[in-house]
Amino acid sequence: MSLLCPIDFRYGRPKMKAIFEEDARLQRLLDVEAALARAEAKVGLIPEPAGAEIAAKATTKHVTVKRVQALEEETRHDLMAVVLALTEACDGEAGKYVHLGATSNDILDSATALQLRDAIRILTSDLDELIQVLAGLATKHKRTIMLGRTHGQAAVPITFGLKMAVFASEVIRHRDRLQEASTRIVVGKMSGAVGTGAAFGPYAQDIQAAVMSDLGIGVEEAATQVVGRDRYAEFIAILANLAASLEKFCTEVRNLQRTEIGEVAEAFEAKKQVGSSTMAQKENPVGSENVCSLARVVRSLVIPALENVPLWHERDLTNSASERIILPHGCVLIDEMLARTTEIFDSLRVYPDRMKENLEATKGQVMAEAVMIALVGKGLGRQDAHKLVRDTAHKARTKGMHLRDALWAESKVTKLLSKKEIDAAMDPAGYLGESVAIVGAFVRRVK
């Protein structure tokens, strides 16, 4: 069989992909039918032996994907094919009670909730792993000084550990969002054709509560014929937001690995890995580039997810086809991205000496703010101090001087600051603020 979608052969990890494979999807549909049969038997809507028989036969051992596909070709209705296949599998009179009172999306949406519940568990574990890796880097490099950059330009010193703490904190927020939203996302329904529960008679609310409790998922308390698609839109939006952060982290790796910067680099297997088919010297950040590329796909899923919210009246089918794509693709790709990002940072090569070289290459320009603050400390007004340092820094750049030398030669500066005080202000290690304390407090909170 030839494969078309790269998710089938290139992207995605088996554990996440297994949730969305046909056999697994069918089993979840059958799990919902089994829970419905048990609930109906419990309230006396169907005979208890029938409920037990339906539940016993609601497995892919008795109801196969192949048989369901054959029935769907005849009926041109995916869920009805499942119902007919389960009916065939039941012995005696039990088959005539299969799917009693339910509508297709009672089964479909509740099965989707089971898939999303399992996917969220995997993603939560992925996020925990990434948090620990980033927190580990934050601890290891809490005193590793490097250039902070704004607008792509050298700004003031920062530590690589603080940068990693910022990333880890962002991942924690994504984990919190996912966990907090899961009670809204993992929701099913069992309330019939337009949500009234009429076909279940006086047992409607009891049946719905029993089914969802049996499945271990939440209840859509007021439904149309479907679970509200705002729930799925929220889920996809959370994945898209996370994808944006992963692209941010990996873009930072790509930038810092640039030849002229060279402060970090992805791991590279020197003996076997190839960077370029022609430029033999290349070691490219292909892992990070891959994450950035996949992030664009995940973010693109937000539009169809939002467009699935405004269905006509109590429901239509315009959401169905796109959901078959966006939900599994979103979960599989973000899981892949999280795993790759964790691997990238876990094996990241960090070059403190290069960071120091890049700091020194600015000839002290990045310490201009520190000098300004020192002058303010001597009584000079903030605006006057800013202008004095700005003019001196500009003069130093124009003449190719180190800022320290330009400051020593500026009488307006030396009138207020001694050479020793200027040297102290020019020391990057002395201008890290609370960086180390911030990292320490953050790591303690994570642990």
Catalytically active residues are: 151, 276
Task: Provide the 3-class DSSP secondary structure of residue 147.
Answer: strand
**DSSP code per residue over 24-73:** HHHHHHHHHHHHHHHHHHHHTSS-HHHHHHHHHH-STTTS-HHHHHHHHH
Q: Which residues contact 195 (CB under 8 A, 6 or more apart)?
A: 189, 222, 223, 224, 225, 314
Q: Among 244, 10, 227, which residue's Cα sits nearest to residue 115?
A: 227
C-beta of residue 164 within 8 angstroms of C-beta of residue 130: no
C-beta of residue 395 within 8 angstroms of C-beta of residue 363: no
- Rounded (5°) CA angle 84-208-200: 65
C-beta of residue 344 within 8 angstroms of C-beta of residue 288: yes
Tokens coding 63 = 């109801």
Q: Which residues contact 370 (CB under 8 A, 6 or more apart)?
A: 156, 425, 426, 430, 431
- DSSP bridge pairs for 219: 188
